[in-house]
Chains A and B, each alone.
Chain A
Amino acid sequence: MSPLTQWNFLAVTRKLCINLGTMDWSEPRNFREWARRVIALRPLVLTLLILAVVISELRFDWLEQALGSYLVTTNTKRPESGAIWEIGHRTITARQTLEQLVTGRQSSQREARGASTFTQIASNLPPGQGVMLSSEHFRDLYLTLPQAIAHEIVSPIELLRLFSDGGWIRTYLENEDYGFKIYLLNSENRVLRELRIPSDLLLQIKRVEIALEGSLEDLPTFENRIYPADRFFRAMEALPEEDLRSVISQPERLLSVPGHIVRVGISDEAVSGFIELGFEIEEGTRRKVILLRGREWAVWILRSYLEEKGLELNQTTGEGNET
């Protein structure tokens, strides 16, 4: 309110109070007096004023507009309640739930698409969830596996057959309690072949893929079967060419590791026709072990060479003896 308006308002109020003070508030004694008081200027003005207010309201809806405008100003402070808001909230909750579901699924899918090994997929896929891969991607993952493990999952000939049929389009990998369940699917989502990678096999894949920090003595499975590297490779030389790959299926993997191999351990237990070999690698002051798997029969032949000709071979070793 401006000072001028404020002053006017105070002046009018004062005048009205004076007028009210000078008004005759006593009871009219007769009809004439009563009529005189009623048909006076002030009551008439007052009546007209009231009528004007009522008519203007009927005509211009100013009261509704004033209330409506006031309510608009308080709108943001009021609660989101009522039937339609409840539906709205449910819609928001539903969208959020869906978004979470889709995001989780998409993120697993994205990570799986970028994965280059089975263990990468396994580490990113929550239990009970699955991912869809193309048949080509599955083939690439399969090819990263050591031959022995790959054979355990499915034979390459079988995969070749499925590829050449042209029906195998996609692969669904599901992370279950006991490992991976793999479905090779056609375009109608029908399972052409169901494969499994049990947890222990997944563990082996993981062990093969990573280099363990430490020496062969840290792995009890190699106890009493640790040989100097040169003795081991001399024994390998004694094997026929066709058996070499059965002992070390992926020599490239050993070649790609920095450092040099100092000792080799042979596990004392065979699993599913395979025996684990540990290659201890020295890189500066660090030692690490890389695990590979060899065919049981080929490793046995190699061991016989190592055992029988041990003394002869031992004479040329530069480091360590059989423990």
Chain B
Amino acid sequence: MATIGAVIRLLRTVFYMTLAVASVGVLMCIGMFFLAVRDLPRVPEPLSRIIETPPTEIYAATGERIMVIGGREAIPLSKVSTQFIQAVLATEDHRFWEHHGVDKLRTLKALWVTLFEPGRIEGASTITQQLSKNLFFSFKRSYMRKFRELLVALQIESQYSKREILETYINQIPMGVGAHGIEQASRTFFGKPALELSLAESALLAGLPKSPTRYNPYLHYDRAKERQRVVLSRMLAVGYITRAQADSASRDELNLRPPPSGARTGSYFLDMVVKSLEERYGPEVVYHGGLRVTTTLDPQLQTWAVESLQEGLARLEKMLGVHEQAGHGIGGEVIRPQGALVAIETNSGAVKAMVGGRNYVETEYNRAVQNNRLPGSGFKPFLYYTAFEKLGLNPATVFVDRPVTIPVAGAQDWAPRNFGLKHEGPMTLKRALIRSVNSVAAQLVERTGPKEVIRTARRCGIKSHLEPVYSLALGTSGISPLEMASAFATFANGGVRHKPFWIWRVEDALGRVLEERIIGGERSLDASIVYQVIDLMRGVVDEGTGAVVRRLGFDLPAAGKTGTTDGYYDAWFTGFTPTLSTSVWVGYDQGEGLRDIQGLGITGGRGAAPIWADFMLKATQGEPPREFAIPPHIRFETVDPITGRAATETTLNPMRVALREGQSLYSTIMEDETSYYSETEASQVEP
């Protein structure tokens, strides 16, 4: 009897305890409900309205759409493949049509698994709950967040039909690779509208929302296929498909489009465009306002620019023996040389192609714009222009290539060396530039002064900080490839400067014009002197340090200048035809010079000029030869490249020079040259 009494007491205790717990539970739920309801987000009406934000579309100059920023377009369920809808329902929420926002049985099961099967956590969110979370809540895990998410899901179920909920869900669901919603995902992964998705494709896409990164078919194809099979088995279990269909879809090869981010046309260029738009209109307008932006990019040139740079860098790697150096980088990673290429239309300043690095996916740092690297001898054309303008020199003026020491007030004397550490004696300025003789450049800058050279560079549009020191003449102040291409375009354009630009026109979503580019040049250099400099630079391409361009088959009229810095940290080639100015830079990002396997340094002529030639060959294919416009009062003389005197029949390698009105050959022999001759002659007569 006493035992029965004890049992009864126990049962009674359990009963009251349960009652108490249940009461507390109910009270807590009520409390939580009112607590959660206080700042529960408002659900918009209609639900799909909030997904439709206009995209900012960026177009190439050819009219091709090259980028879409933000913006989502909702499509009706009728425009989505039934198989995809079935796949989503089978995988995410097969009782979607039956429940009212919460799948209680699944929730209880998930609760059981989570509580009593250690190490396993099972989710039970319905499509409505997922929609609620995606639209209103952060991804921070908390019970209160979960509860609020549940409440909003209940409201959504009460306020909207199942079709509306499903339609909103499939239009906002994140699918990875920047795609939101099934239509975007379908076009991104398979290049087709969502209505045309096959069973295999539908199953693959329906598997992505669980973890768009983990199942990204571009990065983890096998994993994505495995997930696809899970989706197909769920569809089979739910009864949407037969075993044969599941097996067939599972075997189907997926015809994926190339991955979008890395292959996007002109990613570096687009970064620059977006940055400019943000600066002008603010990020909100760019990402949510729906602009239509027409850029200057020529997609074909851009493709060729990328190809040329990547192939050039591959060749360079071979020369450097990069693959054999595996392990010498940080953490054993191979450090690879980088490069940049910018091509500008000379008569407008429009940037037609831009590559800021070897691979945008690896590094978004835009070396074409942000990387101010020393241009080396690539800076000399500004010096020669200054010397012609300020000192009245001409290409036939003779200077002596000799050891030069220039005293610098308050600092060590500056004693520049030639690339080959040799001196060749007297030579005309044209020959000096063609051979990129540093000692002559040093003598010129000593006469003009660095400030005048800086002034010329500024007139050509160079904005980077330039140090007013003598060594500036040899390119010791950093400049970006964009600036170089643009500044050389001023030469190509006969001294008329066009600011580089990359946006032609900006409109709002309704096509109302916000801005449009006006192409107006500004004469900043004297046309006759510019022509003389062009003539010098043509010599560089035809027979000088950039002659590799001709050897590689580029035979259109072109001018350019190589640049190599001490230690071979930078190799440049900037050159132009009358219509296109292109600058190429190659080098390591940090602290390493370009040296081949034999230890020889890579110069601009070896490293950058072949890339330039390769690109320009493609960019100008089919173009008829077009000469640089010769300004009035320019005449040509053939001279001896050593003495600068008129060439005779016996002159070795005579050289054509362009002279301006009033310039004659014999009035231009510099003092040093005469003293050199007198010294030489004296030494010859001495016994």
Contacts and interface: CB of A to CB of B under 8 A. Distances in A.
B299 interface: no
Interface string B45-60: 0000011011000000
B53 A71 contact: no
Contacts of A102: 508, 512, 514
A138 interface: no
Contacts of B42: 75-76, 78-81, 85
B512 A67 contact: no
Interface in A86-100: 87-88, 90-91, 93-95, 97-98
B518 A191 contact: yes
A88 B44 contact: yes
Contacts of B152: 71
A61 interface: yes
B99 A61 contact: yes
Interface stretch (A12-20, A27-35, A120-128, A248-256): A27-35
Contacts, number: 147
B135 interface: yes
A58 B508 CA distance: 52
B284 to A, nearest CB: 4
A315 to B, nearest CB: 59
Interface stretch (A155-163, A182-190, A226-234): A182-190
A39 interface: no
A175 to B, nearest CB: 15
Nearest to B33: A67
Contacts of A68: 100-101, 154-159
A198 B136 CA distance: 57
A312 interface: no
A101 to B, nearest CB: 6
Contacts of A74: 37, 40
Contacts of A78: 39-42
A83 B155 contact: no
Contact of B516 (A31, A34, A189, A190): A189
Interface string B1-36: 100100010001000000000000000000001000
Contacts of B516: 189
Interface stretch (B285-293, B364-372, B444-452, B536-544): B285-293
Contacts of A105: 512-514
Contacts of A84: 44, 50-51, 135-136
Interface in B341-358: 348
A83 B136 CA distance: 5
Contact of A64 (B102, B134, B348, B518): B102
Interface string A177-218: 000000101001111001000000000000000000000000
A134 B158 CA distance: 58
B520 A30 contact: no
A258 interface: no
Nearest to A191: B520
B630 interface: no
A118 B155 CA distance: 62
A191 B54 CA distance: 34
B221 interface: no
A293 to B, nearest CB: 30
A106 interface: yes
Contacts of B154: 64-65, 67-68, 71
Contacts of A101: 281, 514
B138 interface: yes
A69 interface: yes
B43 interface: yes
Contacts of A71: 37, 40, 151-152, 154-155, 158
A40 interface: no
B285 A98 contact: yes
Interface residues of B, number: 54
Contact of B284 (A58, A93, A106, A183): A93
A34 B10 CA distance: 13
Interface in A25-72: 27-28, 30-31, 34, 58, 61, 64-65, 67-69, 71-72
A78 B44 CA distance: 11
A82 interface: yes
B512 A81 contact: no
Interface in B138-181: 138, 151-152, 154-159
B282 interface: yes
Given A69-B158, A79-B39, A90 B8 contact: no
A300 B221 CA distance: 92
B512 A58 contact: no
B243 interface: no
A172 interface: yes
Nearest to B7: A31
Contacts of A31: 4, 8
Nearest to B285: A94
Contacts of A97: 281-282, 284-285, 289
A95 B12 CA distance: 67
B137 interface: yes
Given A74-B37, A83-B135, A191-B519, A94 B8 contact: no
A72 B155 contact: yes
Nearest to A192: B520
B251 interface: no
B593 interface: no
B521 interface: yes
Contacts of A94: 282, 284-285, 287-290
In the complex, which of the residues B152, B284, B517, B521 has the most CB atoms of chain A within 10 Å of its own CB atom? B284
Contacts of B109: none
A10 to B, nearest CB: 25
Given A67-B151, A78-B42, A172-B518, A95 B289 contact: yes
A82 B136 contact: yes
A80 B514 CA distance: 31
Interface in B103-134: 104, 134
A34 B8 contact: yes
B135 A82 contact: yes
A98 B293 CA distance: 14
Scoring A69, A95, A105 by chain B CB atoms within 10 A of each residue's CB, the highest score goes to A95
A82 B285 contact: no
B136 A30 contact: no
A150 B12 CA distance: 109
Contact of A87 (B37, B137, B288): B288
Which one of A34, A75, A97 has the highest number of Cβ atoms from chain B below 10 Å of its Cβ? A75
B41 A82 contact: yes
Given A61-B100, A90-B287, A98-B508, A83 B138 contact: yes
A85 B155 contact: no
Contacts of B521: 191
Contact of A90 (B51, B100, B157, B284): B284
A188 B102 CA distance: 61
B104 A58 contact: yes
B681 to A, nearest CB: 56
A81 to B, nearest CB: 5
Contacts of B282: 94, 97
A85, A105, A194: most-surrounded residue (chain B CB, <10 A): A85
B8 A81 contact: no
B520 A183 contact: yes
Contacts of B43: 75
Interface in B269-292: 281-282, 284-285, 287-291
Contacts of B290: 94-95, 98
A311 to B, nearest CB: 56
Contacts of B12: 27
Interface of B: 1, 4, 8, 12, 33, 37, 39-44, 50-51, 53-54, 99-102, 104, 134-138, 151-152, 154-159, 281-282, 284-285, 287-291, 348, 508, 512-514, 516-521
11 contacts: A31-B8, A67-B151, A67-B154, A67-B155, A72-B159, A74-B40, A85-B41, A88-B50, A98-B514, A102-B508, A189-B519
- 9 closest Cβ contacts across the A-B interface? A68-B158, A82-B136, A94-B289, A191-B520, A61-B100, A71-B155, A68-B154, A82-B41, A94-B288
